Amino acid sequence: MRIIEVLAECGHADTIRSIAEQQEILECWIGHSDEETRCSMRLVVQPEKLQAVIDAVQSSLSGSENWRILIKPVEAIIPRAEKAEEKEKKHAGTRAREEIYTNVETGARLDTNYLLLVVFSTIVATIGLIEDNVAVVIGAMVIAPLLGPNIALAYGTALGDRVLITRALKTNLAGMLLALGLALLIGLLWPANIESRELMARTDVGLDGIVLALVSGAAAILSLTTGLSSTLVGVMVAVAILPPTATLGLMIASGNYHLALGSGLLLAVNVVCVNLSAKLVLLWKGVKPRTWLERTKARQSMWAYISFWVIILVILVAVMHIYHTYFISS
């Protein structure tokens, strides 16, 4: 359940009332703000009607100026509306496009906090890999901020938002290059322990790794669109990306280039699968822009995005076969 508060000129009040009646929302009331010409219009909206109401309100206000739409969560309603509660249970995971975008945009920011978390998580993960300590490796995944930019990339293509796509690519690339460079530096100062099971587990990739990465990306985007906690899912995505990146740096530093090839292949497969499955879930959830023109652009972006990742995945699977044939078997 959400409260949609519309701050706009009072002349829009009848239009907002009409939208409320058409959508058959729970409540609608209108009050004046401090300014005589503006009103505060509030609507209590069921989850299954949230996006439709927001789109309708935006369309009605698009030609005017000086308006705002605020979306607020509702903790409880007294007295309880039984019919509304039954429908809410069916659509408990429904979030508005704008709510999701706010969370995604925040996670794609390339700032000092993001870079510091990448540094800290890489140091912890590298130590855990060298010392063969699975608890330390998992601890690094908890603080790794790698979920945000990967999800933002998939969501940006779903909306055809080039600004968000570019920002997500820059943040993702910066984080991975920083992690790789730091792991390489640590490897030069602290030689990799080839006997570490945690380290060696990240030097090969098989079908199980592909399935893990696909599930990680799907779970991540599903938690985002349903409003569930993404903390544990973020750990799962970080497991698919950060340890292979750290292992790649360590193996290059130690001169084990054939093992570095395996960890690099694992990293590439994981990145592709996470983004591909995230995009497929967004497609299944029907996430798309509001206007027809934006939807047309997003549709083109979506199919180009999916085709790109599928082609890259097919190429990587072929490289995996060659790698296992000539390096692992021999």
In angstroms, rounded to a whole number, what is the distance separating the alpha carbons of residues 230 and 215? 14
Look up the pTM and report it.
0.77
User: In the predicted model, is pLDDT for residue 168 greater than 60?
Assistant: yes
User: In the predicted model, is pLDDT for residue 33 greater than 70?
Assistant: no
Report whether 126 contacts 186 (CB < 8 A).
Answer: yes
Classify residue 286 by burial, with Cβ atoms within 10 Å: 0-12, 13-18, 19+. exposed
User: In the predicted model, is pLDDT for residue 293 greater than 60?
Assistant: no
State residue 94's pLDDT score. 59
Q: What CATH number should be reported for the domain whose range is 2-90?
A: 3.30.70.120
User: In the predicted model, is pLDDT for residue 75 greater than 50?
Assistant: yes
State residue 170's pLDDT score. 95
Report whether 118 contacts 175 (CB < 8 A).
Answer: yes
Segment 52-62, tens digit of pLDDT: 888 888 888 88
Segment 79-138, tens digit of pLDDT: 776 555 555 544 455 577 787 888 888 888 899 999 999 999 999 999 999 998 989 988
Domain ranges of the chain: 2-90, 97-328
User: In the predicted model, is pLDDT for residue 232 greater than 70?
Assistant: no
- Tell me the CA distances in angstroms from 276 to 142, 155, 158, 221, 245, one per residue in order: 23, 11, 12, 11, 19
User: In the predicted model, is pLDDT for residue 195 greater than 80?
Assistant: yes
CATH class of the domain defined by 97-328: mainly alpha
